[in-house]
């Protein structure tokens, strides 16, 4: 059944009946122009969710509210706090981002990873990019970090011996994207957020990134060893219609600052809504654009 704005919740991972992200009546405007005008959604633990919609509809703005880099004009965003023991029901407590201190948010963010649209790699080598957060947040030694960095690079299909000492500026677009995902993986996150991970990449590289997202989503974070209910949750902001076809995520479409569609990809592809079909038809063109041009 097609559900337009009905708050469809996709299949939850077994053993993880709790929310990872809750967005309630979220409003945000810039220079008096509304971007988000009452967004409501809930992402359950273990879900793979794609957030789609035309350029300028607020996808990245929504993502930045989830990460706490933007605060709402009205409404609120709550996230699961995996930095503390779970409650009697096995679910982590939910924390409202707007009322949490920056220090508290930093502790919560240790269990997240963001793959940025333009990769946001630091100046320096691949090794520098993979190890900085591990050194600063977990106090690991180089001997402890090296196998983690090598494994993360292997997971994204890169040879550690060839790329660990390679400078950021010597990476191709596809390699830089893989390193950005490896940097996310090395932190072993519970929540992974991707901002247009395949924008501007060639079709062959897009397929490889699709498989990486799927494989990463399907693995359990290390925290699950101590807390069996912990599973990985993935939120992907994208224009990539082939990603939707391959991974079959729950699809949330934003339009005019609100959730227009929330449901399975199969229903999204068949939606009779007048805004969905034209967007589907232009998705491949939007995804092919050079992200640095916008």
CATH assignment of 19-120+189-293, among 3.60.15.30, 3.40.50.300, 3.30.420.40, 1.10.260.40:
3.40.50.300
Structure tokens at 41: 């959604």
Average pLDDT of span 101-123:
85
What pLDDT sits at residue 80?
A: 94
Give the pLDDT confidence score for residue 136 in this predicted structure: 77
DSSP symbols for the chain: ---SSS----PPPTT--SEEEEEEEEEEEETTEEEEEEEEEEEETT-EEEEE-STTSSHHHHHHHHTTSS--SEEEEEEE-TTS---TTSPPPEEEGGGS-HHHHHHHHTTEEEE-TT--PPSSBHHHHHHHHHHHHH---HHHHHHHHHHHHHHTT--HHHHTT-BGGG--HHHHHHHHHHHHHHT--SEEEEESTTTT--HHHHHHHHHHHHHHHTSPPGGGGT-TT---EEEEE---HHHHHHH--EEEEEETTEEEEEEEHHHHHT---TTHHHHHHHHHHHHHS-GGG-
User: 38-47, 142-151, 262-271: which has the minimum mean pLDDT?
Assistant: 142-151
pLDDT at 132: 81
For the segment 121-138, the average pLDDT, to the nearest whole number, is 82
Summarize the confidence of residues 33-52 as an average pLDDT: 96
Higher pLDDT, 154 or 76: 76
CA-to-CA distance for 131 and 141, rounded, in angstroms?
A: 10
What are 39's strand-pairing partners? 26
Whether pLDDT at 5 is above 60? no
**Which of the two residues, 202 and 249, has the higher pLDDT score?**
249
pLDDT the model gives residue 184 = 81
Please write the tens of the pLDDT for every residue from 195-239.
988 887 888 888 888 988 998 898 877 766 666 667 899 999 999
This prediction's pTM? 0.86
């Amino acid at each position: 059944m097609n559900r337009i704005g009905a708050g469809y919740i996709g299949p939850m991972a077994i053993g993880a009946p709790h929310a990872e992200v809750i967005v309630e009546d979220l409003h945000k405007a810039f220079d008096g122009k509304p971007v988000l005008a009452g967004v409501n959604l809930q992402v359950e633990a273990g879900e793979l969710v794609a957030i789609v919609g035309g350029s300028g509809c607020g996808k990245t703005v929504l993502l930045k509210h989830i990460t706490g880099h933007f605060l709402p004009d009205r409404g609120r965003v709550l996230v699961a706090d995996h930095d503390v023991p779970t409650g009697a029901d096995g679910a982590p407590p939910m924390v409202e981002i707007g009322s949490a201190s920056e220090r508290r948010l930093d502790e919560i963010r240790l269990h997240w990873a963001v793959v940025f649209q333009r990769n946001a790699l630091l100046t320096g080598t691949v090794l520098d990019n993979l190890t900085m957060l591990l050194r600063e947040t977990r106090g690991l030694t180089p001997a402890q970090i090296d196998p983690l960095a090598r494994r993360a690079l292997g997971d994204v299909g890169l040879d550690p011996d060839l790329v660990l000492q390679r400078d950021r500026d010597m990476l191709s677009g596809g390699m830089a994207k893989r390193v950005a995902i490896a940097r996310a993986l090395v932190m072993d996150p519970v929540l992974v957020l991707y901002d247009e991970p395949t924008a501007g990449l060639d079709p062959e590289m897009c397929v490889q990134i699709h498989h990486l997202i799927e494989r990463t989503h399907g693995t359990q974070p290390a925290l699950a060893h101590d807390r069996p209910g912990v599973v990985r949750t993935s939120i992907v902001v994208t224009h990539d219609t082939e990603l939707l076809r391959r991974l079959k995520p729950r699809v949330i479409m934003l339009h005019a600052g609100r959730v227009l569609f929330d449901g399975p990809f199969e229903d999204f592809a068949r939606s009779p809504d007048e805004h969905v079909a034209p967007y589907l038809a232009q998705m491949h063109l939007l995804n092919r654009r050079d992200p640095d041009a916008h």
